[in-house]
C-alpha cells in the first residue's frame, strides 16, 4: 500500500474544481492518503478566502484522509535540506507519517527536490505521480 502525503496546494486544487484530475487520488486502489492539520488549515484558509463556496467540499475531501500526529512545530529535517520555513512543517509531517510520496505543486520551494527522496519520502508533483500510476 502506497502512503501518499498531500500538500495544501494539492488539497486546494482538488476541492476548487469539481472535475479536477486530482480527484483521481481519492479513487486509486492501494493508496493511503495522508495530510496534516497544518496543510489542511492552510488549504481551507486559502480556499475560503478565494472560493468560499468550495470550502465544504475541501472539508469533505480532508475527512477522507489520515492525519499525522505530533506538533506541527516539529520541523526537524534531514541534514542538508534547505526549504522555506513555511514548508518545513509539510515535509516534516510527510516524514513523520512515513509517507512514501509527498505530492506538491509548490515548484518554487520543493522544485529542487522533485524526483528525489528526502527522509525516506519521494517528492513529486501530482502530475508526475498520476502519470506513473496509469
For all residues of the chain together, what is the average pLDDT?
92
CA–CA separation, 35 and 51 (whole Å):
21
Give the H or E element holding residue 3: strand 2-6
Q: Does domain 2-132 have CATH number 2.30.29.30?
A: no
Domain coordinates in residue numbering, the chain: 2-132
User: What are the pLDDT digits (tens) for 45-77?
Assistant: 999 999 999 999 999 999 999 999 766 555 568
Sheet with strand 31-35: strands edge to edge:
66-67, 31-35, 2-6, 101-103, 121-124, 117-118
Mean pLDDT confidence for 24-51: 96
Q: Tell me, what's the pLDDT at 73?
A: 54
User: What are the pLDDT digits (tens) for 85-114?
Assistant: 889 999 999 999 999 999 999 999 999 999
The separation between CA 75 and the C-alpha centre of its own chain, rounded to angstroms, equals 16
Amino acid at each position: 500500500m502506497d502512503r501518499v502525503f498531500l500538500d495544501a496546494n494539492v488539497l486546494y486544487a482538488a476541492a476548487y474544481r469539481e472535475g479536477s484530475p486530482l480527484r483521481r487520488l481519492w479513487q486509486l486502489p492501494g493508496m493511503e492518503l495522508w495530510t496534516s492539520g497544518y496543510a489542511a488549515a492552510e488549504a481551507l484558509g486559502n480556499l475560503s478566502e478565494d472560493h468560499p463556496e468550495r470550502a465544504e467540499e475541501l472539508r469533505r475531501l480532508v475527512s477522507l484522509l489520515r492525519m499525522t500526529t505530533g506538533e506541527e512545530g516539529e520541523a526537524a529535517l534531514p541534514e542538508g535540506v534547505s526549504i522555506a520555513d513555511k514548508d518545513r512543517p509539510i515535509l516534516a509531517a510527510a516524514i513523520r507519517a512515513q509517507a512514501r510520496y509527498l505530492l506538491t505543486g509548490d515548484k518554487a520551494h520543493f522544485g529542487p527536490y522533485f524526483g528525489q527522496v528526502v527522509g525516506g519520502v519521494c517528492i513529486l508533483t501530482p502530475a508526475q505521480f498520476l502519470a506513473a500510476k496509469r
